[in-house]
Chain A
Amino acid sequence: MSGTYAYYPGCSGLGTSVEYDLSTRAICRELGIELVDIPDWSCCGSTPAHTVDHTLSCALSARNIFQAESLDVDGIITPCPSCLTNLKTASHRMQNDAFKARVERLLDGPVENRLPIMSVLQVLFETIGPAAIAEKVTEPLTGLRLAPYYGCIMNRPPEIMDFDDCENPVAMDELMTALGADVAPFPLKVECCGASFGVARKDMVMKLSGRLLDLAEDVSAHAMVTACPLCQMNLDLRQKQINSAHKAKHRMPVFYYTQLIGKALGMGEESLMLDKLIVPPSVAFRKMDEVRRSAS
């Protein structure tokens, strides 16, 4: 067992990023990380809550921290960076007693605020480590050229997120390399994709995510790999919209890193849900096979 954690799936894990939630659970099981769902977890408020008020937004997160405190766990982990930043910011700001009191006035009761909060990526990278994962690889991703994209808030600001380098994070790079993949240097690793503006200001997502897809092409990536449901949605689900807006012809699959880990560990489709991706993964795997053929 490599630890027991309270798991906060996040709202999109029930819908638009169901494959991320499932593949996360599957590989955690496989790698010995025990996940206990936070009982009756509620929405952290994501972006909208913090644009309205910080006490409200922290209270929405704090309720989940409170729910988790009833469990016997090593910490709280979540796959979604937006949920992560809300939970961590709430925990960080509640170190100030006056603010904590204001938050608790909105809740049913006091919060201990003692559990460490991390991303699933951090636990995989620090507790398990790329070397241990490499040993369990049965289907290496040799020949698959990936552009790793972390998204803007996973590692920023460094004082709160406290994991990996904030300009050039390498956790995902090293995990993918451990799987045998060819990781391309991707200079816009932490550049925002357009976030939640897809519905109300689609033009912004078109420009920002479009730029990321262009760069992935420039570095000859077969696919992008990401750790954020919103980034994945903007790049994958909206790829057709981007192509249309920019008269481009991108066919760039966008994987969740957990799906690729699962694939390399030889896990089956039910655990990975690769078929949920909009741009078909086969586009990338064909290119991977070509590289393997020309290498041999």
Chain B
Amino acid sequence: MNTVSLKDSCDDAFIAEVEQESEQKVNTCYQCGNCTAGCPYSSFYDYPVSQIMRLLQAGQKETILSSHSLWLCATCESCTTRCPNEIDVARIMDVLRHMARRAGYAPERAVKTFWDSFLDSVEKHGRVFEMGLVARYIAKTGRVLTDADLGVDMLPKGKLSFKPHPIVGKESVAKIFKRYNEERES
């Protein structure tokens, strides 16, 4: 690990932005590690969640936004529920994930693709069309065998429909996305 220049590499504007979007105060964290201890995904993270908090306190923007951890957080709320300083850690992780996406990072490409495919389905039909979602995911990732083994179990039980369930108001759902995208561009 390189020597970190505390003053020069600390991005105060980044810290302020995270605090504003998450409505949490980063200095309240005393690095007890409770969040890491209870996080079921700790073993998959490159930086355990308490270290993400420490990096945030030190304003290490690039390190955080390029990390894999942000994309592997399931927002299971274990950290938030147990934090002795009542910090909503899960919300901070979500906000960091928003910022990473906006900055163009996606170290867990498959995860991002899955989520994007899901939202595309919602935007198009108003409700998720599960087959469509998986098809789109496979098309974008090239992982043709994704859960192919599960089809054998699901199809005979009628758990997968081949047709989407568009709703009457799917336009209003599509408009939500449209307005969101427009606001982001401006």
The reply to whether B101 and A52 form a contact with Cβ atoms under 8 Å apart is yes
Query: Contacts A157-B77, A192-B78, A200-B110 hold; do A63 and B101 have CB atoms under 8 A apart?
Result: no
Kindly state whether residue B176 has any CB partner on chain A within 8 Å: yes
The reply to whether A199 and B183 form a contact with Cβ atoms under 8 Å apart is no
Q: Determine the chain A residues whose CB is within 8 A of the CB of B115 once the complex forms.
A: 47-48, 51-52
Q: How many residues of A contact B (CB 8 A)?
A: 59
DSSP class of A's interface residues: helix, strand, loop or mixed? helix
The reply to whether B179 and A106 form a contact with Cβ atoms under 8 Å apart is yes
A40 to B127, CA, bound (A): 10
A199 to B74, CA, bound (A): 13
B172 CB contact (under 8 Å) in A52, A108, A167: A108
Q: Determine the chain B residues whose CB is within 8 A of the CB of A167 once the complex forms.
A: 81
Query: Contacts A16-B159, A60-B176, A276-B158 hold; do A42 and B74 have CB atoms under 8 A apart?
Result: no
Considering only residues 113-136 of chain B, those with a C-beta below 8 Å from chain A are: 113-116, 118-119, 122, 126-128, 130, 134
Closest residue to B110 on the A side, CB-wise? A200
A30 to B99, CA, bound (A): 48
Query: Contacts A43-B126, A157-B88, A241-B149 hold; do A192 and B74 have CB atoms under 8 A apart?
Result: yes
Q: Determine the chain A residues whose CB is within 8 A of the CB of B177 once the complex forms.
A: 56
Least Cβ–Cβ distance between A169 and chain B, in angstroms: 12
Query: Contacts A48-B119, A199-B114 hold; do A238 and B150 have CB atoms under 8 A apart?
Result: yes
Kindly state whether residue A184 has any CB partner on chain B within 8 Å: no
A54 to B159, CA, bound (A): 31
Kindly state whether residue B14 has any CB partner on chain A within 8 Å: no
The reply to whether A107 and B176 form a contact with Cβ atoms under 8 Å apart is yes
Q: How many residues of B contact A (CB 8 A)?
A: 59
- Give residues in B with beta carbon < 8 Å to A: 40-41, 43-44, 72, 74-78, 80-81, 88, 90, 94-95, 97-98, 101, 108, 110-111, 113-116, 118-119, 122, 126-128, 130, 134, 137, 146-147, 149-150, 153-154, 157-161, 165, 167-170, 172-173, 175-177, 179-180, 183
The reply to whether B41 and A204 form a contact with Cβ atoms under 8 Å apart is yes
Query: Contacts A153-B77, A195-B76 hold; do A200 and B180 have CB atoms under 8 A apart?
Result: no
Q: Determine the chain A residues whose CB is within 8 A of the CB of B98 once the complex forms.
A: 51-54
Q: Determine the chain A residues whose CB is within 8 A of the CB of B172 once the complex forms.
A: 42, 63, 107-108
Q: Determine the chain A residues whose CB is within 8 A of the CB of B72 once the complex forms.
A: 197, 201, 204
Considering only residues 14-66 of chain A, those with a C-beta below 8 Å from chain B are: 14-16, 18, 40-43, 45-56, 59-60, 63
Q: Determine the chain A residues whose CB is within 8 A of the CB of B150 once the complex forms.
A: 237-238, 241
The reply to whether A14 and B76 form a contact with Cβ atoms under 8 Å apart is no
A-B contact number at CB 8 A: 170
A107 to B174, CA, bound (A): 10
The reply to whether A195 and B176 form a contact with Cβ atoms under 8 Å apart is no
The reply to whether A53 and B110 form a contact with Cβ atoms under 8 Å apart is no
In the assembled complex, 16 residue pairs joining A and B whose CB atoms fall closer than 8 Å, in A order, are: A14-B127, A16-B154, A18-B158, A42-B167, A46-B128, A48-B116, A51-B94, A51-B97, A152-B77, A156-B78, A157-B90, A167-B81, A192-B40, A192-B41, A192-B74, A208-B41
The reply to whether B81 and A166 form a contact with Cβ atoms under 8 Å apart is yes
- Give residues in A with beta carbon < 8 Å to B: 11-12, 14-16, 18, 40-43, 45-56, 59-60, 63, 105-108, 152-153, 156-158, 166-167, 190-192, 194-204, 207-208, 237-238, 240-241, 275-276, 278
The reply to whether A195 and B160 form a contact with Cβ atoms under 8 Å apart is no
A16 to B154, CA, bound (A): 8
Among all A-B residue pairs, the 9 with the closest Cβ atoms: A48-B115, A152-B76, A192-B76, A200-B110, A156-B77, A195-B74, A11-B128, A48-B118, A200-B114
A278 to B90, CA, bound (A): 33
Least Cβ–Cβ distance between A18 and chain B, in angstroms: 6
Query: Contacts A200-B110, A200-B114 hold; do A15 and B147 have CB atoms under 8 A apart?
Result: no
A237 CB contact (under 8 Å) in B90, B94, B110, B154: B154
Least Cβ–Cβ distance between B127 and chain A, in angstroms: 5
The reply to whether A43 and B176 form a contact with Cβ atoms under 8 Å apart is no
The reply to whether B111 and A201 form a contact with Cβ atoms under 8 Å apart is yes
The reply to whether B127 and A43 form a contact with Cβ atoms under 8 Å apart is yes
Q: Determine the chain A residues whose CB is within 8 A of the CB of B154 once the complex forms.
A: 16, 237
Known: A157-B90, A207-B43. 7 other contacts (CB 8 A): A14-B161, A42-B122, A51-B115, A56-B177, A157-B81, A196-B114, A204-B72
